[in-house]
Homo-oligomer: A and B are copies of this chain.
Amino acid sequence: MRGSSPRLAEILAPIESPMKRMRQVLRSQLGDESAAVSDMIDHVERFRGKQLRAALVLLAGEATGNTTDEHAAVAAIVEMIHLATRVHDGILDGAEVRRRVACVNERWDNQVAVLLGDFLYARAFALSTELSSRLCSRVLSETTRRICVGEIHQSTSRYDFEMREETYEEISGAKTASLYAAACELGARYPGGNEELGRDLSTMGWSFGLAFQIVDDCLDLTGTEEEVGKSVGTDVEDGKVTLPVLYTYRKADESMRAKIRDIYTRPGLEGRARLLRAECDLEPGLAYAQSRARTLMQEGLSRLARLPLTPARASIEELAGFLLERSF
């Protein structure tokens, strides 16, 4: 699944023109810097990804009949925050390739990746303070805090094979779903209207984001770099025990559990995810995770029930299906 997927472009057709404006804002925000900065920015733009979070701001706005001249900027800000987390996540994950472009922290070093991420955060917040309403600054600074807490929690929960499923969802929720929730809430509410609708769309976004993360976790176990377009197997390398592994571990007998722990932890082992696939039957765990993702997406979509049948609402529904399909 790539940023340039024709199917995705088709799904997002109702917001083609605001997405273009969003990209213009992004370019203008990141463009007018010194040579040293713009060299790095160029690099980041090439692995910009699917821009799903920006799309959800605009879709949530259109679907709820809440569109303003500032929605494109709000969407660009959400996308910049996402980019910042990805740049810093490059340091976190030890990921080697992202979107087929060498990760920032490989081409330059950790130092520069830290600074570039900080720059993206700062730019995002600076732009948000120029908007007519403070809602965007408020929602996104709180969301950024939540993402950090989720990442810190994840980092301190490595190799925790006894983790409760609720804890897994709490961590994935904070680190991934919270920005989806913020995107949908801002789309529906910005600059300030209809709190109830905002809550509904926020809940939808949360479910979407959590489902997205679960699918991502499955792909990290089963996908190839070629298919997924970024490093795979990094969760096992980094000691992250994701939902399909948690389920597999819970259902396994003690000898299989010992094997799983060994594959995660034995020093110097190469290709841990591949070994895990070869030595353990992950299928039930993967099926369980995918079923959970489907349930979450359905729960999320149920929040649209009160909205009129518009092309934007249809897009959100198709997007949900599209995001789930990529797990197969």
Contacts and interface: CB of A to CB of B under 8 A. Distances in A.
Contact of A119 (B37, B111, B134, B148): B148
Nearest to A130: B138
A130 B156 CA distance: 30
B114 A137 contact: no
B122 A141 contact: yes
Contacts of A125: 125, 137, 141, 144
Interface string A96-138: 0000000000000011101111110111011011100010011
A89 to B, nearest CB: 9
B114 A92 contact: yes
Contacts of A155: 36, 111-112, 115
Contacts of A129: 134, 137-138, 141
A163 interface: no
A141 B122 CA distance: 5
A125 B145 CA distance: 9
A53 B36 CA distance: 28
A137 B111 CA distance: 26
Contacts of A153: 34, 36-37
Given A34-B153, A141-B125, A148 B118 contact: yes
B114 A88 contact: yes
Nearest to A35: B156
A8 interface: no
A217 interface: no
A149 interface: yes
A33 B149 contact: yes
A175 to B, nearest CB: 10
Contact of A92 (B111, B137, B144): B111
B152 A112 contact: yes
A119 B152 contact: yes
A196 B36 CA distance: 33
Contact of A152 (B36, B148, B156): B36
Interface of A: 33-34, 36-37, 40, 88, 91-92, 110-112, 114-119, 121-123, 125-126, 128-130, 134, 137-138, 141-142, 144-145, 147-149, 151-153, 155-156
16 contacts: A34-B149, A34-B153, A37-B153, A88-B115, A91-B111, A92-B111, A92-B114, A115-B148, A115-B152, A118-B147, A121-B144, A122-B142, A122-B144, A126-B141, A129-B134, A129-B137
